[in-house]
């Protein structure tokens, strides 16, 4: 297998966030001889009170200026595209709707699927570009015998972002580049210094870009009209009342709001959120573990689902670890993961991603599989 970075000069649109990773992606491709066009997507601009001095998200005016300065240093054109309407519809509104339904969304996956590798790809075609590139820590490789491309994890295990890219298709893999995925983070910063980029030591983004304060509950309060409901122990006891299911996720321990008149002898965790009854069920930590995880809307990067049960490793959250499992695909587009060892807190709405070695086989959306035992 070989990298898709070749010594030719097709045009590539680089999605530039104003961070070091996307900036070095542009530098590496320009160095390899690609005809680079930098594009910064104006996704969201918050109110002044939303921005704090220690904000580590993206999308600020300063980020756009950083991207422009990098393109100036590299001698490549830079454009800003306003995609606020699309971002609000496909990412922010989705985020709010999922929490309102008692689920736990992953907005970066929605952004990749609907904005970076859909909207931006169409804009790239208008610029006569053959490729779109980003600063994701992942790799695309091509089998020299078959010509087929695969999505692999980034070489830096601590920065690997292949989890949020499981929605890519075989067709898209022919037109995407992830040049930084072949390097460690420290090497990327050294490359930025080598290129004399002013942001070589710029801090990485950490917050959800449209929640710069990092408090998603405050964000939801401005956009939802929560309705109270009951806090219920798995044994049927009513432990109190909550202000809204939007503020709970499976596995949560803090901020449960249990009444002092209902003391319990063991730590409790959210084990189930029922949007119909608006009940939030609580139980001991051992109740969070399960071997079977049902997955909807499964996507397979190679284009087709595997035949029969296959051995994989899988992770059910971005910060989780790969765990051995058996994957079985179903004709309705869903799939079942049977883990060798029970996994903790599979939260509906999150992604379950399947791997075979370093290769991303695919992924889907975690769905609730077990009802509370009351």
Q: How far is CA 94 from the centre of its chain?
A: 13
Q: Find out whether 58 and 209 touch, Cβ atoms under 8 Å.
A: yes
Q: Any catalytic annotation for residue 209?
A: yes
Assign 3-class secondary structure to the chain: CEECCCCCCCEEEEECCCCHHHHHHHHHHHHCCCEEEEEEEECCCCCHHHCCCCCCCCCCHHHHHHHHHHHHHHCCCEEEEECHHHHHHHHHHHHHHHHHCCCCCCHHHHHHHHHHHHHHHHHHHHCCCCEEECCCCEEEEECCCCCCEEEEECCCCCCCCHHHHCCCCHHHHCCEECHHHHCCHHHHHHHHHHCCCCCCCCCCCCCCCCCCCCCHHHHHHCCCCCCCEEEEECCCCEEEEECCHHHCCCCCCCCCCCCCCCCCCCCCEEEEEECCCCEEEEECHHHHEEEEEEEEEEEECCCCCCCCCEEEEEECCCCCCCEEEEEEECCCCCEEEEEEEEEECCCCCCEEEEEECCEEEEEEEEECCCCCCC
Of 58, 71, 108, 111, which one is the catalytic site residue? 111
Q: Which residues pair with 270 in a beta bridge?
A: 282
Of 59, 71, 108, 209, which one is the catalytic site residue? 209
Which residues are known catalytic residues? 111, 209
């Amino acid at each position: 297998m070989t990298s898709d970075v070749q010594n030719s000069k097709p045009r590539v649109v680089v999605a530039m966030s104003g961070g070091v990773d996307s900036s070095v992606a542009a530098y590496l491709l320009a160095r390899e001889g690609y005809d680079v066009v930098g594009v910064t997507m104006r996704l969201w601009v918050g109110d002044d009170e939303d921005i704090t001095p220690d904000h580590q998200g993206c999308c600020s005016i300063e980020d756009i200026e950083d991207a422009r300065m990098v393109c100036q240093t590299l001698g490549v054109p830079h454009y800003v595209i306003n995609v606020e309407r699309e971002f609000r519809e496909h990412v922010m509104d989705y985020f709010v709707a999922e929490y309102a339904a008692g689920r736990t969304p992953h907005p970066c996956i929605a952004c990749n699927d609907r904005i970076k590798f859909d909207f931006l790809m169409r804009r790239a075609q208008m610029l006569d570009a053959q490729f779109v590139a980003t600063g994701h820590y992942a790799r695309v490789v091509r089998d020299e015998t078959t010509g087929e491309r695969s999505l692999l994890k980034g070489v830096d295990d601590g920065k690997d972002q292949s989890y949020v890219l499981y929605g890519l298709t075989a067709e898209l893999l022919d037109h995407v580049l992830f040049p930084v995925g072949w390097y460690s983070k420290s090497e990327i910063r050294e490359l930025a210094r080598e290129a004399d980029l002013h942001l070589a030591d710029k801090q990485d983004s950490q917050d959800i870009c449209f929640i710069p304060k990092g408090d998603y509950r405050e964000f939801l309060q401005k956009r939802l009209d929560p309705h109270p409901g009951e806090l219920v122990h798995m044994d049927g006891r009513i432990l109190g009342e909550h202000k809204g299911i939007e503020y709970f996720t499976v596995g949560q321990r803090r901020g449960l709001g249990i009444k002092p008149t209902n003391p319990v002898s063991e730590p409790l965790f959210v084990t189930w959120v029922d949007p119909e009854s608006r009940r939030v069920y609580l139980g001991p930590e051992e109740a969070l573990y399960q071997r079977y995880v049902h997955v909807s809307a499964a996507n397979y990067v190679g284009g087709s689902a595997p035949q029969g049960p296959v051995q994989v490793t899988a992770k059910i959250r971005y910060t989780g670890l790969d765990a051995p499992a058996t994957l079985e695909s179903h004709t309705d587009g869903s799939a079942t993961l049977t883990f060798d060892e029970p996994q903790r807190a599979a939260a509906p709405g999150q992604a379950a991603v399947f791997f075979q070695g370093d290769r991303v086989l695919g992924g889907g959306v975690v769905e609730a599989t077990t009802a509370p035992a009351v």
